[in-house]
Amino acid sequence: MKLNVPEIIRRKRDGERLGDDELRALIGEYTADRIPDYQMAALLMAIFFCGLDTAELAVWTDAMTRSGAVMRHDRVRGPKVDKHSTGGVGDKISLCLAPAVAACGVPVPMISGRGLGHTGGTLDKLESIPGFRVDLEPAAASAQLERLGLFLIGQTEDVAPADRRLYALRDVTGTVESIPLIASSIMSKKLAEGIDALVLDVKVGEGAFMETAARARELARTIIDIGAASGVAVRALLTDMGAPIGRTVGNSLEAREAIDVLRGGGPSDTIALTIELGAEMLVLGKAAKELEAGRASVRRVLADGTALALFARVIEAQRGDPRVCDDPSRLPVAAHRDPLAARRRGYVTGIRPRAVAMAALEVGAGRRRKEDDIDPSAGVELLVARGDLVEAGAPLAALHHGGSGEGEAMRLLESAFEIGDAPPASTALVIDRL
Amino acid sequence: MKLNVPEIIRRKRDGERLGDDELRALIGEYTADRIPDYQMAALLMAIFFCGLDTAELAVWTDAMTRSGAVMRHDRVRGPKVDKHSTGGVGDKISLCLAPAVAACGVPVPMISGRGLGHTGGTLDKLESIPGFRVDLEPAAASAQLERLGLFLIGQTEDVAPADRRLYALRDVTGTVESIPLIASSIMSKKLAEGIDALVLDVKVGEGAFMETAARARELARTIIDIGAASGVAVRALLTDMGAPIGRTVGNSLEAREAIDVLRGGGPSDTIALTIELGAEMLVLGKAAKELEAGRASVRRVLADGTALALFARVIEAQRGDPRVCDDPSRLPVAAHRDPLAARRRGYVTGIRPRAVAMAALEVGAGRRRKEDDIDPSAGVELLVARGDLVEAGAPLAALHHGGSGEGEAMRLLESAFEIGDAPPASTALVIDRL
């Protein structure tokens, strides 16, 4: 199809619908380097303002998915279900959730990403486990899914190359914050996993990509619509990101915390998120009739060690050291652990996730740019939670670092804590379900 | 100044004002190839949607002007005044207007452009005069302005290079139709001429860039504001472009018609436009106290041969053959002149300018792409005007061509004529003055 790209840009700019063939050709030609970045940048900005309707977005996303390889798991029985989180601070839920759900009998083909900026990435947390490999070949991953019910891998070059190019362009052209573009980016990769259903964890709040519940709900509805058009059932939870998830931010610290949850321990919010998201996945995966039964199943596999045992087998299958499951001290440990003391007595009324994340970034736990190296052992350990009463001088947090960036990190970390005279109102972890 | 371009794009996209330094740096860095096209394309689309306010636009335009050479005419006394038309079909007004105004004592430093698509360009019309050169050096042009009160030249690479780059980018990214971007493009070049005042002819109607009077008025007001910020007085006329101007469309045909006007003849609309625009220029140039006196002066220099004599001297100074003024048959003549006959008896209720222009384009009078060659002798000669009563079989127009494209051109030309049973309502030539 011969495209008149300036004319297509004008039509989208003027609020018109684009045709299915046009949308597919735009994605195809752009991925094949036959549409220049400057035209795609203008089109993306026009989409930022004028959007894509449900039907346009379904085609646009499908074209992005088909720009690369799409996995099939023909030998894996039953519905395959994954979870996607829009990204938070301290979000290590995938590491405990995926083994728990797989242990309940629902296959989980999980492809994750790396951290960038203030949000962490599941791959980085997995790779803090010594030896763990996230670069399985598709056939090997599918075979592992059949055998263990779970793989935890990274996105290869083959998966949705259109998304990789579009995302890189959006990042430098001020077109990231567009609901249809965010939704299509997420779903193009998820649909390439060969899933039948998806649970979406849309984080809401200061530490999240979506700062308001209204925007989060709009994103969730958009993704549900894309899923419906592709035959993938999507359930979405809007969850609170007003404080970091759990007590740790940083890769090996978070892996350790996830193992705590798989051992039946861990912080209450992390356990609760695992149970809530897990129950949704079990219902979608037909392993539970309703949520309450799903919750009970997840609780059981966390309590009886089944989920931890499965995680150990997956680690071993992916060449990692499974002994971390019994002995988390085998995970990388930072050279320094500096405490942060409370300046005054009072209630912890807030722990600002973005400031905690920036402190972790400062000591090397994350990346400013894609090409940056990270320090798997660096990060922040929170020693108090929102609502706790602390005495002046009591430790609020500990900074784990290798001896660089700790000065600025400590200042950022201190700025994260809000101490007041009265305890804060309690907040709901799950804000809404769609 | 270190620019965070994605952040600037986001701020404009979200409706914020950009700072003076930011605007200047954006233009400077883009022109110096230090901002990639894809970022500028996204910014231009954000400007399409969110605009630039009066103060932002003044700085943006000034930066575009200063991206290149700005002429000074220190030795030329009195206010220097130019005219700019937003481009119409058959618009040869500059060729008769500029000599007339200069003959009345107001210096006219006129830099014009070439035709592209359905609109013609003054440079192409001038170059149909054998030998005429439009590529004068700035110093030579300024000296000619001092001596003769007029130069008629083309835009060199030195004039507003930022505009050249931005225009090329807008053309392929669907961001042409933005009032602030159109206004800054026009004014960046006009301000580089070293003018004190400008008369703007905003064409309105089917054959024009601005299809509605509301858009034309908005463009005029925006240009008036930019002028005010730069100390250049701008008067704007909105004029009707519902039919071609005069009786000819095509380069040597139009040059000949302009000479007719300078000889005291020519079609009434072309004369009227020359007088109205000329009177405004004379008032701005302090050579007339008010419009009526200005009109009288223009009429006089057209009637007594002064304007024609000056045009001949300018042609000679720019190496053209001045004998065309007395003997227009020295202009290029097409090999073929095919008449178009009326299919029915009736009143000419409309002559659609775009169809006439496309017919002329088809026989080589214009360019589809910048790099196309043109045939100076090709074009359309209208033999009737709107309102005329014609008999079946009577000639409506003649197509001048060199033997290629005439079939399609004739079909287009025929489609341009609307013949009805009743005479059309009369239309005003000057729709509004600002």
* B185 assigned to active site: yes
Nearest to B19, CA basis, from B8, B29, B30, B7? B8
Quote the minimal CA–CA distance from B45 to chain A in Å: 6
pLDDT digits (tens, 9 = 90+) for B69-80: 999 999 999 999
> What pLDDT was estimated at residue B368?
81
Question: What is the β-pairing status of strands A336-341 and A379-382?
Answer: unpaired
**Treating both helix axes as pointing N-terminal to C-terminal, what angle do A37-50 and A20-31 enclose, rounded to 10 degrees?**
140
Choosing among B14, B45, B50, B368, which should be mutated to test the A contact, i.e. which has the most A CBs within 10 A?
A: B45
The whole-angstrom separation of Cα A417 and Cα B16 is 31
How far apart CA A225 and CA A217 sit, in angstroms, is: 12
Supply the pLDDT for residue A115.
78
Active site residue B163: yes
Given B12, B66, B80, B84, the catalytic residue:
B84
**Does the distance separating the beta carbons of A41 and B41 come in below 8 Å?**
yes
B-chain residue closest to A176, CA distance: B10
Q: Check residue B48 and give its pLDDT.
A: 97
Per-residue confidence band for A226, with pLDDT thresholds at 50, 70 and 90: very high
Q: Which helix (H) or strand (E) holds B240?
A: strand B233-240
pLDDT at A328 over 90: yes
Task: Determine the distance in angstroms separating the CA of B181 from the nearest CA of chain A, rounded to an integer.
Answer: 15
pLDDT in tens, A123-177: 999 999 999 999 999 999 999 999 999 999 998 888 899 999 999 899 899 999 9
Mean pLDDT value across residues A104-131 = 90
If pLDDT is split at 50, 70 and 90, which confidence band does A85 have? very high
Residue A206 confidence class, pLDDT cut points 50, 70, 90: confident
How far, in Å, are A66, A107, A152, A314, A315 from residue A75 at the CA level?
A: 22, 11, 18, 19, 22
Interface predicted TM-score (ipTM)? 0.84
- Chain B residues touching residue A42 (CB < 8 angstroms): 41-42, 44-45, 173-175
Strand bridging mode B379-382 / B395-401: antiparallel
Segment A5-22 mean pLDDT: 96
Task: Output the pLDDT for position B194.
Answer: 92
pLDDT digit string, tens, across residues A367-378: 887 778 899 999
A-proximal residues of B, 169-228, CB under 8 Å: 169, 171-175, 177
The C-alpha atoms of residue B86 and residue A172 are separated, in whole angstroms, by 34
Tell me how far apart the alpha carbons of residues B425 and B254 are, in angstroms, rounded to a whole number: 27
**pLDDT of A63:** 97
Q: Which amino acid is at B259?
A: I
pLDDT recorded at residue B205: 85
The predicted pLDDT at position A120 comes to 77
Residues in chain B with pLDDT < 50?
A: none
Rounded to an integer, the average pLDDT of A82-97 is 94
- pTM for the whole structure: 0.86
| pLDDT score for B1 | 64
Q: What is the pLDDT of residues A236-276, one digit of tens each?
A: 999 998 899 999 999 999 999 999 999 999 999 999 999 99
Inspect the interface and report whether the beta carbons of A13 and B39 lie closer than 8 Å.
Answer: no
Active-site residue, A336 included:
no
Statement: residue A409 has pLDDT above 70:
yes
